[in-house]
Structures are given as C-alpha cells and as structure tokens.
Amino acid sequence: MPGGEITELLEAWSEGRRDAVDEVFARLYDELHRLARAQVRRAAGAVLTTTEVVHEAYVKLVDARQVSVSGRRHFFALAARAMRQILVDAARRAQADKRGGGAVRTSLDEERLRLDTEATAVLALDEALAQLLALDPDLGRLVELRFFGGLSVEELATTLEVSERTVKRRWRMARAFLYRELGGEERP
C-alpha cells in the first residue's frame, strides 16, 4: 500500500471530505490486523502490544514529510479505533469459540479461566468505554488513543495540542470513571 495514498486521504478528511474516512478506516483495520497477527506469530508466548502495532502501521502507511498535524491526529484516532475493534472482535470470537466449540470443560482449568477472563475483560472495558464516549467524547477518545493506540503522554500532548499536565490529569479522570464502571467502586 503506497504511503502517499493514505496520507492523501487523511489530508482530504482534514479538508472536510467525509467520504475519505471510511476508506481509511477499512484499510487501517486490515493493515493493523495483519501487523498484529504477524506480531503474535513472531512473539509466540510473548505479548502483543498495540503500541508497537500502531506505530509500525504509521511508519508503513503514512508519509511523515507530507502529513499535516491534523492528518497525523486523524491517523491515530482512526488507528486507535481500529485497534480497539480488532481486539473486541477477537474477544468476541474467543468467547464464541469457547461456547460453541463443543468442548466440555471437565475440570477447573486455570489457564482456561485466565483466558476466559481476559476476553470478558476486553469486552467489559469496551462497553464501559462506549459509555464514557457518550458522556464525554473527548475523554473517551483520549482513552482510545492512549490505551488502544498506545500513544505516550508526550505523543498525546503533541497530537492533541495540549500540555502534558493536562493529558495526565484528563487521563486520570477517564481512568477513574472506567475503574468505577468496571466494578472497582460503588456507583452513585
């Protein structure tokens, strides 16, 4: 996939051409998924981290010299969203497999339990995030960018054009909400 095309699409979106968005998202989803898969295969037994996947995609797809600040911002916003979707979709599949696979759990399989918990956790987090996005879209997007997109505090500050202090403070608020939603604290 030529770097120029995605960059152009991102710029087009910046200029208000809305139909560019779906195209970018679709391609990003495919590419990120491909990269994620490759990473899992490579690091058998180790961890898949979204940060690396997203940054790898950026390097591959975007012409850093041509892209504008807002183009960059759009990239990461979409990539974060796509990454979230990839994980959520995978979690759903994992749950479905477990249920419909036909295998019967005959014993308390700790490994299985952990894996099960993991899928559930991803899905629960996704739902809480959806709630946050409805209440406060800015905070929600921050979570996506940081958690799924894997941007660091500095990168977030540059991309969103705010101070690092602001990023940290907002992140703290978002986390508090999510923690509470996921049952860490009594709801009002």
Partner 1 sequence: MSRSDSERFRRAVAVVEQLLDLPPDQRLARLEAECGGDAELAREVESLLAADEAAGGFLEQPAHVWAGAVAAAVRAGPEDLEPGAVVGPFQLTGVLGRGGMGVVYRAERATGGFRQQAALKLLKRGLDTDELVARFRRERQILAQLRHPNIAVLLDGGVATDGRPYFAMELVEGEPITDWCDAHHLSVTGRVRRFLDACAAVSHAHANLVVHCDLKPGHIVVDEEEHVRLLDFGIAKLLAEAGGEGTVTRLGGRPLTPAYAAPEQLRGEPVTTATDVYALGVVLYELVCGRHPFVADPDAAKRRAASGRAPPSLARALTRPAPDEVEAVEVAKRRGTSLGHLRRTLRGDIEAIVQTALATEPEARYSSAEALAEDLQRYLAGRPVRARRPTPSYRGLRFVARHRLGVAAAALVVLSLLAGAGGVVWQARATTREARRARAVIDFLVAVFREAAPARSPNGPRTTVKELLDRAAPRIDSDLRNEPELRAELHGVLGELYEVLGLYDRAAPLLEKALTESRAEYGERSPATVQALQRVGSLLTDRGKYREAEAVLRRALAVQDATGIDGGRERRETLRRLALAADLLARYDESIPLFRKALAISSGSEGPDSDAALADARSLGITLWKAGKNDEAEPLLRGTLERARARHGDDAVELTEIEKGLALLLADHNRFDEAVTLLADAVRIQRERLGPLHPNLAETLDDLAQTERLRGHFEGVGELFSEAIAIRRRALGPDSPQLAFSMNNYANYLFFQGDFSGAAKEFGEALGILRRSLGEEHPAVATCMGNLGVVLHRQGRLAEAEPLLRHSLELRRRSQSEPREEVMLGLTNLGLLHVAQGKLDQAERELGEAGTIAKATFPPAHPRRASVEAAQGRLRLAQGRLEEARVILEHALETFTVSVSPDDPRVAEVHLDLGRAFAAQGRLADARPHLETAVRLLAGKKGYRRQYDLASRWLRR
Name residues contacting partner 1, limited to 39-78 (CB under 8 A).
40-41, 43-51
Angle between helices 69-100 and 50-61 (to 10 degrees): 130
Which range in 2-10, 61-69, 156-164, 180-188 contacts partner 1 by CB under 8 A?
Answer: 180-188
| Nearest-angstrom CA–CA distance, 126 and 58 | 24
For residue 88, state whether it binds partner 1 (rule: CB under 8 A).
yes
For residue 167, state whether it binds partner 1 (rule: CB under 8 A).
no
Please report, as a single letter, which amino acid is at residue 5.
Answer: E
Residues in 13-42 at the binding interface with partner 1, rule: CB under 8 A: 18-19, 21-22, 25-26, 29, 33, 36-37, 40-41
Nearer to partner 1, 65 or 107 (CB): 107
> Burial code of 24-51, b = ≥16 C-beta within 10 A, e = fewer?
bbebbbebbbebbeebeeeeeeeebebb
Please report, as a single letter, which amino acid is at residue 109.
Answer: D
- Minimum distance from residue 60 beta carbon to partner 1 (Å): 18
